[in-house]
Homo-oligomer: A and B are copies of this chain.
Amino acid sequence: MSLIVQKYGGTSVGSLELIQRVAARVAAVRERGDDIVVVVSAMGDATDRLLDLARGICPEPAPRELDALLATGEQVSVALLAMALEARGVKARSFTGAQVRIVTSPVHTRARIHRIETDRLRAALREGIVPVVAGFQGVDADGNITTIGRGGSDTTAVALAVALGADECQILTDVDGVYTTDPRMVPEARRLDRLSFEEMLELAGQGSRVLHLRCVEFAAKYNVPLRVASSFATGPGTLICKEERRVEAPVVSGIAFNRDEAQITVTNLPNEPLAIHRLLEPVSAASIEIDMIALTGNREGLTDLSFTVHRDDYPKALRLVRAAAAVFEGSTVSGDERVAKLAVVGVGMRSHAGVATRLFEALAAEGAAVRLVSTSEIKISVLIPEEQLEACVKRLHAAFGLDRPPESVALPIP
């Protein structure tokens, strides 16, 4: 007998009919004899409708009251799902964040979970009752209702799985797993059966929108196996777990990309840390996030610095860097806002040489103008002109054999 935490997102509980389908699915887990705790988000666009109400009162509503308002969205879904389960003869009980006591920091609209009291949930499980827990919300030490930010229901689910020592945390959503790359761009993209936490973090960080970074970090930290699967179909999805569990790790697991990049390059800077600091400091002070960064060349004490920012921040960042560079005689500042980032990710890189060679070979065959390179242990990222992105992703997907299934066995969803 396993203990499973299942999380259903807003699109999976977007109508009464869908809630009935979720109930049927939860009932099937019970029939199999497993224990289950269900976490749900607000129905469909309920949160947006509540936000509209709040903004109808004032442009910047009091955060404490905004949290109290938004928390009703999940309270509606948990009550309806518990009703649907009871109507099918499955014992169930809804819980708000306050009722569980998901205790968070006393910060509104983006609280952090401090601890979860599991007494009431464990008592329900012992009685054969399915606890249906409101995602996204908690309560601070003074009993004020808090929310943990958008996408927070995933984090609630992982945190509950950790607190209860669950065997698996399943995120049921509108995609059927994590893919080798975006299937909308590459039709040959394959669903991955398994992936390590680190790979998932690199993929998520690069803009694969399946799971929130924070929830993957949480699962990795406490080593809770995480499964992403479809709430509409019955596939095994993708299991994200510790690296050791993999039978055979492929060299490259997936290709991530991000179009919203812009590059700024400064040439002929004094090659000393203080100069770099003086150049980048105003950008950071303006809360502009710097992503890739590379120093190139070192001739006669001079160097070139190149980095990327989000395309929306580009005009401001360029202005700030121009002003900061003015003090360095002979320096030049240039920029390009039509660039894209592409990254190959895989824990297999650690033990396999030649990934970079194969990467550049493929990029060269595509005639890609590589503008910036940065590497981590399990990832190589390159910046290329945006118009070359699609062709490069497709060529790399084939070059690393991602369109062929690996020789591992797909495990049935527990």
Q: Are B57 and A20 in contact (CB under 8 A)?
A: yes
**Residue interface mask A71-115, B partner, CB < 8 A = 1:** 110011011101110110000011010110000000000000000
- Which residues of chain B come closer than 8 Å to A69, judged between CB atoms? 75-76, 79-80, 83
Instruction: Answer whether residue A50 sits at the interface, using C-beta atoms and an 8 A cutoff.
Output: yes
Q: Are A61 and B75 in contact (CB under 8 A)?
A: no
- Which residues of chain B come closer than 8 Å to A87, judged between CB atoms? 57-58, 61-62
In the complex, which of the residues A57, A69, A72, A86 has the most CB atoms of chain B within 10 Å of its own CB atom? Answer: A57
Contact of A83 among B66, B75, B80, B99 (CB under 8 A): B66
Closest B residue to A91 by CB, please name it: B62
Q: Are B68 and A84 in contact (CB under 8 A)?
A: no
**Contact A53 to B80, CB < 8 A, known contacts A71-B75, A87-B58, A143-B99:** yes
Could you tell me which residues of chain A, from 130 to 145, have a CB within 8 Å of some CB in chain B? 143-145
**Residue interface mask A1-43, B partner, CB < 8 A = 1:** 0000000000000001001100000000000000000000000
Determine how close the nearest CB of chain B comes to the CB of A331; give it in whole angstroms: 49
- Which residues of chain B come closer than 8 Å to A301, judged between CB atoms? none
Determine how close the nearest CB of chain B comes to the CB of A109; give it in whole angstroms: 13
Per assembly, the copies of the chain total: 2
- Which residues of chain B come closer than 8 Å to A310, judged between CB atoms? none
Instruction: Provide the main secondary structure of the chain A interface.
Output: helix
Instruction: Answer whether residue A56 sits at the interface, using C-beta atoms and an 8 A cutoff.
Output: yes
Q: Are B143 and A57 in contact (CB under 8 A)?
A: no
Instruction: Answer whether residue A54 sits at the interface, using C-beta atoms and an 8 A cutoff.
Output: yes
Instruction: Answer whether residue A260 sits at the interface, using C-beta atoms and an 8 A cutoff.
Output: no
- Which residues of chain B come closer than 8 Å to A71, judged between CB atoms? 75
Instruction: Answer whether residue A65 sits at the interface, using C-beta atoms and an 8 A cutoff.
Output: yes
- Which residues of chain B come closer than 8 Å to A65, judged between CB atoms? 79-80, 82-83, 86, 94
In the complex, which of the residues A54, A71, A76, A83 has the most CB atoms of chain B within 10 Å of its own CB atom? Answer: A83
Determine how close the nearest CB of chain B comes to the CB of A44; give it in whole angstroms: 12
Instruction: Answer whether residue A64 sits at the interface, using C-beta atoms and an 8 A cutoff.
Output: yes
A83 to B96 alpha-carbon distance, docked (Å) = 22
Determine how close the nearest CB of chain B comes to the CB of A124; give it in whole angstroms: 11
Interface residues, chain A, with chain B CB atoms under 8 Å away: 16, 19-20, 50, 53-54, 56-58, 61-62, 64-66, 68-69, 71-72, 75-76, 78-80, 82-84, 86-87, 93-94, 96, 98-99, 120, 143-145
Enumerate 28 A-B pairs (CB-CB under 8 Å) in ascending A order.
Answer: A16-B53, A16-B57, A19-B57, A57-B80, A57-B83, A57-B84, A57-B87, A58-B87, A61-B83, A61-B86, A61-B87, A62-B86, A64-B93, A65-B79, A65-B80, A65-B82, A65-B83, A66-B83, A68-B75, A68-B79, A68-B96, A69-B76, A69-B79, A69-B83, A71-B75, A72-B76, A99-B143, A99-B145
